[in-house]
């Protein structure tokens, strides 16, 4: 467990400090662990594994500004993955149980050697420029809707609507990416 944490956390910290290569490497290594984590829990529906991997990577990317640098990265990432899995089960109306303390499984998962299929940067680049800028300003840079709206020449209300539509579009594209 300590080995994975000692690999991933520095990449996360470097990514937060603006190192794009470290952030890309973090997402690549994390995607391998996520495929194994979701693969064990969704063996009956393997087509959903990649969707959940991409949804989780997007959440990690968009919420990275909320990460507390003093805390373990793997526990934070595991929490996001677990909530994505629970959301998936709720959407499918599945009543499955999984121990909440399965972070050890997450950390011990052997990487699965598959092509990542969908690149987060590529998905964000499919958005229109104004929506992409709003997503980056609010979710990556942590600006308020008011600040992001001013940067994009929008009122706060218009920025809120545009951001909602952009996130909805991203989620839809992630769900249908491999179909």
CA distance 94 to 92: 5
Quick one: pLDDT at residue 148? 87
- Residues 79, 158, single domain; the answer is no
User: What would the pLDDT profile of 129-167 be if each residue is shown by its tens digit?
Assistant: 888 888 888 776 777 888 888 988 989 888 888 888 888
Q: What is the mean pLDDT of the chain?
A: 82
- In the chain, what percentage of residues exceed pLDDT 70? 81
Quick one: pLDDT at residue 102? 57
Quick one: pLDDT at residue 27? 93
Instruction: Note down the domain range covering 136.
Output: 118-179
Closest alpha carbon to 34 in 92, 85, 72, 68: 85
Confidence at 170, pLDDT banded by 50, 70, 90: confident
- Residues 53, 75, single domain; the answer is yes
User: What would the pLDDT profile of 75-124 be if each residue is shown by its tens digit?
Assistant: 999 999 999 988 888 887 766 565 555 555 555 555 554 444 456 567 77
- Residues 11, 98, single domain; the answer is yes
- Residues 64, 149, single domain; the answer is no
CA distance 67 to 59: 12
Looking at residue 46, which CATH number applies to its domain?
1.10.1740
- Answer with the residue of higher pLDDT: 163 or 7: 7
**Helix H or strand E segment including 25:** helix 20-41
- Residues 131, 60, single domain; the answer is no
- Answer with the residue of higher pLDDT: 124 or 34: 34
Q: How far is CA 151 from the centre of its chain?
A: 25
Total structural domains in the chain? 2
- Residues 86, 130, single domain; the answer is no
- Residues 130, 79, single domain; the answer is no
- Residues 75, 145, single domain; the answer is no
The answer, yes or no, to whether residue 21 has pLDDT greater than 90, is yes
């Amino acid at each position: 467990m300590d080995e994975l944490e000692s690999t991933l956390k520095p990449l996360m910290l470097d990514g937060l400090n603006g190192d794009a290569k470290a952030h890309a490497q973090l997402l690549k290594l994390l995607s391998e662990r996520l495929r194994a984590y979701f693969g064990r829990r969704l063996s009956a529906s393997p087509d959903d594994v990649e969707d959940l991997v991409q949804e989780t990577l997007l959440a990690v990317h968009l919420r990275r500004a909320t990460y507390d640098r003093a805390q373990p990265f793997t526990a934070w990432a595991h929490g996001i993955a677990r909530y994505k899995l629970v959301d998936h089960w709720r959407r499918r109306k599945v009543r499955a149980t999984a121990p909440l303390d399965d972070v050890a499984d997450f950390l011990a998962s052997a990487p699965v050697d598959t092509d990542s299929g969908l690149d987060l940067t590529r998905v964000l680049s499919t958005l229109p420029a104004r929506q992409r800028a709003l997503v980056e300003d609010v979710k990556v840079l942590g600006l308020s809707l008011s600040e992001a709206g001013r940067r994009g020449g929008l009122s706060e209300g218009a920025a809120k609507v545009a951001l909602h539509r952009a996130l909805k579009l991203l989620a839809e594209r992630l769900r249908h990416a491999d179909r």
